Amino acid sequence: MRISRFLFFVPIFASILGFVGCSRQPDSLSTLQPDSNSLEKRYEDLIVGYAQLGAESEWRAANTISIKETAEQLGVELRFLDAQQKQDNQIEAIRKLIIQKVDVIGISPIVETGWDEVFQEAKDAGIPIILVDRRAAVPDDLYVSYLGSDFLEEGRKAARIMAELVDGKASIVELVGTIGSAPANDRYTGFREVIKDYPGMKIIASESGDFTRARGREVMAAFLEKYGSEITAVYAHNDDMALGAIEAIEEYGLKPGEDIMIVSIDAARGAFEAMIAGKLNATVECNPLLGPQFFELALKVVNGQLIPKWVPSIESVFFPEDAAEILPTRKY
């Protein structure tokens, strides 16, 4: 089934126009004033710390590669720390970077809450923080910018696609991302904002698959055991969980993409391969290749330039009919 692109043009434009006024993302500008006696820094002068949350998915692996490769290309000295999916490890990483007196700290917060104290420590040390890919629920003065996606709109896009795929009638199971994380919270909320206008679309079960393929498969298998053929659609908060769900559906004896419609988020290579095979019906892009934008922001901050409080990613929606042509161009 070919989905009408018109459904997405207006919301996308509206989202772009609404970036500055979004209540969740303030439109004020942040700046760090340099020493008036200092010369402007170049990329090769920077020491940048990065507290990555882990490597839970194809998306995250691509995000890490983008950060590391861009630093190498620009000549930036990068201090990269992997928290292995634990918030305590990320907090410890930030404190290590503060001790090392890096110029800027980038972080992809594993969950939204619990950062006030350590972010305040960075601020007191004069080290600006840039949030990358995920927000943190902290006062605006504790970070200088958020670089990343509009997760609410990703959830809305997924719901609009699903509504047309199922003609407004479906029994949906939802594979939620990491509990408490910004993308999971907003993709959950955004999807529901849209389907409330479709009385025939019901979410019959919702459970965290923690953004991993293995857990997505496990949760989907449990859904099938409980609900069986009552399930007509799957909404997955990322492609990895969708790919795990596809495996579980096939093991159950049903055809993913036909017996059960599937919409996911990320637009990773695995999703394109699944669409080509007819097993995934659509994927909403969430761009992980944020390295160039991150280091550009870092340099501007260190040199005291004004930067937006939110720098949004530019993203698309992809469907099976275009997947074979687009796949060779994908970098993740």
Can you give the pLDDT at residue 8? 44
Q: Which residue has the tokens 């989907």?
A: 220
What is the full DSSP assignment across 65-119? HHHHHHHHHHT-EEEEEE-TT-HHHHHHHHHHHHHTT-SEEEE--SSSSS-HHHH
Residues of the chain with pLDDT under 70: 1-39
Q: Is the pTM of this model over 0.85?
A: no
Strand ranges for the chain from DSSP E? 29-30, 47-52, 77-82, 104-107, 129-132, 145-148, 170-176, 201-208, 233-236, 261-266, 282-285, 307-308, 310-312, 317-318
Q: For domain 22-149+288-314, is the CATH number 3.40.50.2300?
A: yes
Residues of the chain within CATH 3.40.50.2300 domain(s) are: 22-149+288-314, 151-286+320-329
* 75 vs 38: CA distance, rounded Å: 20
Can you give the pLDDT at residue 16? 36
* 290 vs 313: CA distance, rounded Å: 8
Q: DSSP character for 204?
A: E
Tokens encoding 92: 């410890």
Separation of CA 56 from chain center:
12
pLDDT digits (tens, 9 = 90+) for 227-281: 999 999 999 999 999 999 999 999 999 999 999 999 999 999 999 999 999 999 9
Which neighbouring-strand residues pair with 256? 260
CATH superfamily of 151-286+320-329: Response regulator (3.40.50.2300)
Coil/strand/helix, residue 125:
coil
pLDDT digits (tens, 9 = 90+) for 97-135: 999 999 999 999 999 999 999 999 999 999 999 999 999
Helix (H) or strand (E) holding 64: helix 58-74
Residue 10 phi/psi, 5-degree rounding, is -65, -50
3-state secondary structure string across 234-274: EEECCHHHHHHHHHHHHHHCCCECCCEEEEEEECCHHHHHH
Which neighbouring-strand residues pair with 149? none
* 262 vs 283: CA distance, rounded Å: 9
